[in-house]
A = this chain, B = another copy of it.
Amino acid sequence: AHIVTLPGDGVGPEVTAAAVAVLDAVAAHFDHDFRFEEHPIGGCAIDASGDPLPPASLAACKAADAVLLGAVGGPRWSDPNARVRPEQGLLALRAALGVYANLRPLQVHPALAALSPLKNEKLKHVDVLFVRELTGGAYFGAKTRTSDSASDECRYTVAEVERVVRRAFELARGRRRHVTSVDKANVLETSRLWRSTVQRIAADYPDVKVEHQLVDSMAMLLLTQPSRYDVVVTENLFGDILTDEAAALAGSLGLLPSASLGDGRSGLYEPIHGSAPDIAGQGVANPVGAILSAALLLRHSLSLEREALAVEAAVDRVLSHGPHSRDIGGNAGTAQVRDAVLAALE
């Protein structure tokens, strides 16, 4: 398999290297052939070429079986009024790859419950799969700016809603058969389109229970009743906010992976944490989010379920017994955590 890596900025290169080491070990252990090709994206690409997504990076991603990304952005490029910004590279990549369904699984490891801001009893049985629409909405709508006003358009077609909602229902069939669709249908026209599309599609999945929540209520319910949810599907911006909120429950952003999928087998895999410039280059970033993203890559793009489970089990053992990185209360560095996962893989 041909995997493109986009380490990006900040801690991106450190955590991506750890994930690649784990994929190399999987290849050796299970006798696969993984070829890696590294390309720039984000701030480092702006520095090198002025372009946050150079044509060669994009072409390589399009030709790959899967793409593993670190993180983009950082204070050096964070002037909101700059003409070119690192995030544009990531957004352009998501759009160009057509990865409209962003999967963000959330579980709270029992050994880490003490790190969560939520009370322990709330965390029992929390097992949510967020499916965030990733290539539409206000992220990609028309924008205007004059000296005294600005606008962003949020636009969705029925087809855009339908494909991501179907994906959510399909995923629910492999889980607890419960889909919660989140919108703001009492105010937004796009949310009314979203809700009526979900209602229509739900008829094709009579075995799946469907529920609608308003985004404001959902922001509350994720805290008061997190174990009630199975698959949560929502539009791009609501998904951005709700998944970060939910990530806080896990104790650290550094733990959580994501998979962005389109209609083909290829996909884009990235930890949900950002570039964490405050700790970049120090070798202390938690590589678990990136390593679990590699596990999702094995599962969704390479159909290597057994291998994905092996990586997840290895991470589970390290989270149970340590070593733990700083963000989860330990003092292990990135390499030490990586080595522990590699050892647990044997």
- A279: interface (CB < 8 Å): no
Residue ID in chain B nearest A240 by CB atoms? B216
Partner of A148, one of B157, B191, B216: B157
A320: B residues at CB distance < 8 A:
none
Partner of A157, one of B149, B188, B215, B247: B149
A141: B residues at CB distance < 8 A:
151
The smallest beta-carbon distance between A337 and chain B, in angstroms, is 21
CB within 8 Å of B: which A156-196 residues: 156-159, 184-193, 195-196
A119: B residues at CB distance < 8 A:
116-119
9-residue interface stretch from A27-35, A58-66, A79-87: A79-87
Do B196 and A80 have beta carbons less than 8 Å apart? yes
Q: A148-B157, A189-B151 are in contact. Are A242 and B219 (CB under 8 A)?
A: yes
The smallest beta-carbon distance between A116 and chain B, in angstroms, is 8
Q: A87-B187, A117-B122 are in contact. Are A219 and B196 (CB under 8 A)?
A: no
The complex is assembled from copies of this chain, and their number is 2
Do B196 and A81 have beta carbons less than 8 Å apart? yes
- A143: interface (CB < 8 Å): yes
A216: B residues at CB distance < 8 A:
240-241, 243-244
Q: A117-B224, A188-B138, A241-B215 are in contact. Are A154 and B155 (CB under 8 A)?
A: no
Do B154 and A152 have beta carbons less than 8 Å apart? yes
CB within 8 Å of B: which A77-129 residues: 78, 80-81, 85, 87, 91, 116-119, 122
Residue ID in chain B nearest A199 by CB atoms? B80
Do A217 and B244 have beta carbons less than 8 Å apart? yes
Expressed in whole angstroms, the Cα–Cα distance for A249 and B223 within the complex equals: 8
Q: B-facing mask of A232-249, CB < 8 A → 1, else 0?
A: 000001101111110111
Do B248 and A224 have beta carbons less than 8 Å apart? yes
- A26: interface (CB < 8 Å): no
